[in-house]
Amino acid sequence: MLKELNSEHLKVILEIINNSPYFKHLKMEVKEIGIGYSLLEVVLESMHLNPFGSIHGGVYASIIDTAAYWAVYSAMKENVGFTTMDLNVNNLAPINKGKLTVKGKCIKQGKIICLAEAFVINETGKCLAHGISKMLVSKNLQTIDLIMKFMDNNCFNIPPKFI
């Protein structure tokens, strides 16, 4: 039987992660999480650019890794943790302004290794970057409980992930 993601769980998770220090620093926002996919947006500012005036490769890496992570998260069982082991980013085109949309997709959900990809798309639909993230599954790595401790969000009541 396929489980359905709990929209109330996702609402709380999105509020917590989108208010995390790193997300705020990069001004990225996860807009959607669904079974095996995620959608993230970033509006480019000068802080995202390298000294040559185009997006820094580290920004591409961060937003690709983030979209890949949340695409895998949505496909995993409740309270399972995982972290990126390897991230391969292909910078396909430079950009220096506008809104970027990052689409994450879970390719393989395994018991030990998961694989996800993400595409960075500009406002005209052009693919600017693509990446693949390999993740290690472990009950002790990057669980929702750790988010709650780090973010000091014990005031949140996180509903069950699935209904």
pLDDT confidence bin for 152, thresholds 50/70/90: low
Burial class of residue 7 in the structure, from the number of CB atoms within 10 Å of its CB (0-12 exposed, 13-18 middle, 19+ buried): exposed
Q: In three state form, how does the secondary structure of 40-90 look? A: EEEECCHHHECCCCCECHHHHHHHHHHHHHHHHHHHCCCCCCEEEEEEEEE
Q: Give residue 3's pLDDT.
A: 78
User: Does the pLDDT at position 109 exceed 80?
Assistant: yes
pLDDT confidence bin for 143, thresholds 50/70/90: confident
pTM, entire model: 0.93
Hey, where are the domains in the chain? 7-151
Average pLDDT, the chain: 93
Tell me the backbone φ, ψ of residue 11, rounded to 5 degrees. Answer: -60, -45
- As its CATH architecture, domain 7-151 has Roll (3.10)
pLDDT confidence bin for 146, thresholds 50/70/90: confident
113-121 and 127-137 beta bridge pairing:
antiparallel
